[in-house]
Amino acid sequence: MSLRLPPFEALRLLVGVDDHGSLSAAARSVQMSQPNASRAIRGLERRFALPLVERSPNGSTLTAQGTVLAHWARQILADIDKLLIVAEGLKAERGAQLTVTASITVAEHLMPVWLARFRAQYPGVTIYLQARNSTQVIEEVRSGSCDVGFIESPNPVRGLHSTEVARDELVVVVHPQHPWARRRAPLTAAELAATPLLVREAGSGTRTTLELALRDYEIAAPLLELGSASAIRTSALNGVGPAVLSTLAIAEDVRTGHLNVVAVQDLHMPRSLRAVWRGARRLDGTAAMLLKLIFSEPA
């Protein structure tokens, strides 16, 4: 015969009658009203189909069956208390950790500064950082593999909460010896689409943003498909071909003249870099501490 588990509070009442000698005292011990306690015990008796408590004008005592069940209930409740203590310990342990998964651009150009400031302010927190493309970040957030993710995808993320933490823009860059570096007129979007480019892999926020910007054109096959902004930047610096990169990745190279930005007529690719997480709308724990620090960063 299969029995449903009884409510734990009803078991605590049963043990309380054994300990205190009355149902009213047992009810006070678990902070329950007398009428609710009486209903809980009656429910327990119906569930087990056994008389458990003898009621009299002088109080309540356990029946023989009630005494046996109270003995086992006491052991069960002790194990439940141990379970709760262990769970709290694990929660506290997790509170001293922070697992972050960030898109490549964010991981390479923003996260080092953010995490250095975080470590300086919270030296007792252990940080785990993983770099993925934006699609993979979303998958890891959904699976619960990280506390918070950072993406550069222009698409909305259904089922997750998000907030903007930074902005950047994608630009076309070339080596100073590339013919486009000497152009006086801007490129057209059609010319850019028809040119084989150094691009990120499918699923990255950079690749997705570029493809959305050129969605009205037939896009040429990539010149090279590389797994990080750093690899694309290195290839562009060595004159392999034109690339589309975040302004975060090439700011210093443009300033020093090692790369040239090529204007594209009527094509702008600004992006919102966002933190994403699952669960409650309001982040808590170490992830919330990180976001607070990011938002307090001087402009």
| pLDDT exceeds cutoff 80 at 206 | yes
Question: Within the chain, which residue ranges are assigned CATH 1.10.10.10?
Answer: 8-91
Q: Does domain 8-91 have CATH number 3.40.50.1970?
A: no
Q: How confident is the model at residue 62 (pLDDT cuts 50, 70, 90)?
A: confident
User: Under a CB-based contact definition with an 8 Å cutoff, are residues 270 and 167 in contact?
Assistant: yes
| pLDDT exceeds cutoff 70 at 254 | yes
pLDDT of residue 299: 47
> What class, spelled out in words, does domain 97-166+273-295 have in CATH?
alpha beta
Task: Please tell me the distance from the alpha carbon of residue 139 to that of residue 133, in angstroms, as a whole number.
Answer: 10
| pLDDT exceeds cutoff 90 at 260 | yes
> What class, spelled out in words, does domain 167-270 have in CATH?
alpha beta
Q: Tens digits of per-residue pLDDT, 242-251? A: 999 999 999 9
Closest CA to 106 of 64, 166, 42, 59: 166
| pLDDT exceeds cutoff 60 at 147 | yes
Task: Please tell me the distance from the alpha carbon of residue 175 to that of residue 245, in angstroms, as a whole number.
Answer: 13
The region of weakest confidence among 58-72, 107-121, 123-137, 277-291 is: 58-72
Question: Within the chain, which residue ranges are assigned CATH 3.40.190.10?
Answer: 97-166+273-295, 167-270
